[in-house]
Each structure stands twice: as C-alpha cells, then as structure tokens.
Amino acid sequence: MHIITASFVLIALALGLSSSQLQAQSGADKITLGTITLSLNNLPIYIAQDKGFFAKENIFVEAVVLNASTLAIPVLIAGSTQLSASSAMTTIRAVEKGAALKIVAGLTNAPVYDLYAAPKYKSFKDLKGATIGVSGLITSDTVIMKEMLKANGLEYPRDYAMRAMGSMPDRFRAIQTGNIAAGILSPPYTFGADDIGMVNLGATAKYTPNFVQTVFNVRADWAQEKRPLLIRFLRAILRADQFIHNQKEETVTIIVKRFKYNEKHSEASWRYYINNNAIPKDGEINAKGMDKVLQLLQEDGTLTAPLPKPEKYVDMSYLAEARRTLQ
C-alpha cells in the first residue's frame, strides 16, 4: 500500500491536482486504477479526468502509476486497485494461472511501438550482440518487438540481450547515454527521438498489424459486486473515446499539458493514434487482435491447442450496458 500511496502522490502532482482538489472529490465513489506508466495508451483515462467525464458519473478515479508492468496484475488481485489498464497478454497469463479476472473494454487496439536505436545502429543486423531496452521481459510490447526482430534474422537470446526498463522516458534517456543500443518507444517519444537523430528501425505494427495492446481489467468478483459503478466508469470512458475522435484541438491541448511536449509532437501523436485505429471509438476490443494475442501465447507455451475462446477472458456485458445507458 505504501507503493500505491507514494505513486498516487506523484501522479497527482504530475496532473496538477492540489490536496484541496482531491478532498473536494471525496464525496464521489472512488476507484483506484492501476496504470503502467505515463503513456498515450491511457489517453481516454486522462481525457475522462480532465473533461469531467468521471465527475459527471460521480466517480473520483485515482490513476496510479506503478512504473512496472509486473505490478499491474498483482496489485489488482490483492485489491489495492479496482481496475487495471494493462496488456491483454498479461491478463490472459494471469487467468491461466488461476486468477479470476475479466477484460471489460479496450483501451489501445493496435501496436503503437517503434524500435529506435542510437545513431551508430543503422540496420537490424547492427543490433547483433547489443542490448535492447524493454518494459519487461515478457510484456506484450516486448513480444511483438521480438516478432519484428525474428522477421529480420535476430533471435533472442542468441543474437541480442534485453534489459527491463519499465519507464519509456528511462529507455529514451538510456539510448541517448549509450546504456542500451535500442529501445521500444511510442508517441510522443518517437517524434522526440526523430528530432535528435535516433534511428527508427521499424514499426511493430508492420509485423503484427492486428494486436490488442492495452485493455481494462477487473477482478470478476468486484465487477459483479460493483456492476453499476463499473458501468458508470465505462460510460465515462466511452465519452472520452468519442471526444478524442471528434475534438482534435482540445485533445491535443490535453496531450501538451500531460506530456509537456510541444504542440507539433502532440498533434502528430494524436494523428498517429487515430490513423492507426489505436484508440477505440466505443470501447471495443479488436477481435482479430485478440486472436493474434492468443496465437502468440500459444507460441510461447502459455496456451495449448485447441485455443480457448476469447470469452474465457473477456466479458463485454458491462460495456454493452454502458453503451445502452449512455446519454
């Protein structure tokens, strides 16, 4: 709990929330939402906070930054968080180990990661023997990065090493300083990397075009007990999804505020996510992308044939009711 509390203080300060603002929302129903890092994968959450969509549903959402992908599911299972914004792949692995979790909505429906390298690494073959920075050794972005490297003749661990570095800013700085040769980055960090001369070796979407990246996860018992609250939460997210697609200028302004990036990079980031269908329009989960997740989990030995139906892991009834009751 100390980790959660400290992390929340940091994220509250990052969002510019004063103690009085936090106290003012104390009458609302509270949800603690675990996120991995400050990322545009979580943009609907930030929009719902900043535009008052959670407040409209009388919910106060603590968006806790865990800074480690390995913490997302354990703190959810332990009850320290009520929802988790984390990868579908991580959730399915946990379910296969006995965790009673459900995916209830999509958050990022496409791969949004490019592999960037220090200037001396001009091609994939130059990475042979090098160390690549990743968010975690078995996280979804790492899995699809390995698919890209495999397609270009590099096998792990034969041809390269990986170093787990949960934070994207940490990977960015580590490439700059030479502590790693390359790392997976997503917008807006990709545009900053372009500006300082890092080499873009390729987009993971080229090699894994259909892939569910980030989803909302809950404990099944909490979802059943708190069904009306979960539906209200999802209604706020639906409003945020629609806002992102329909209100470009104001969305870009919020990206600028949240990420402290310039307007050029922030607008380019918005365009990247929209053009690549990364942000759902109504909370949907990319069906083909979920099939790909299951296929990759079969390849790494987590699942065996015949593959389970996605319904084993996904419960869309909450989202369906949120859509029906959205005004």
Query: How is the chain split into domains, by residue range?
Result: 2-109+211-325, 114-207
Q: What is the reported pLDDT for 11?
A: 40
pTM score? 0.88
User: Which pLDDT score is estimated for 21?
Assistant: 46
**Closest by Cα among 56, 50, 60 to 250:** 50
**Residue 324 clears pLDDT 50, i.e. is over it:** yes
The residue among 155, 157, 7, 6 whose CA lies nearest residue 67 is 7
pLDDT for 216-235, tens place per residue?
Answer: 999 999 999 999 999 999 99
At 227, give phi and psi (nearest 5°): -50, -50
Q: For residues 37 and 135, what is the distance between their CA atoms, to the nearest angstrom?
A: 10
Q: What is the CATH number of domain 114-207?
A: 3.40.190.10
Residue 280 has pLDDT above 80, yes or no: yes
pLDDT in tens, 186-219: 999 999 999 999 999 999 999 998 999 999 999 9
Q: Where are the beta strands (DSSP E) in the chain?
A: 29-35, 59-65, 83-87, 101-108, 114-117, 131-134, 161-164, 182-185, 199-203, 214-219
Confidence of residue 166 (pLDDT cuts 50, 70, 90): low
CA–CA separation, 6 and 12 (whole Å) = 10
pLDDT at 8: 40
Q: CATH topology for 2-109+211-325?
A: D-Maltodextrin-Binding Protein; domain 2 (3.40.190)
How sure is the predictor about 1, in pLDDT bands with cuts at 50, 70 and 90? very low
Q: Torsions phi, psi of 163, nearest 5?
A: -125, 120
User: Matching CATH topology for 2-109+211-325 and 114-207?
Assistant: yes
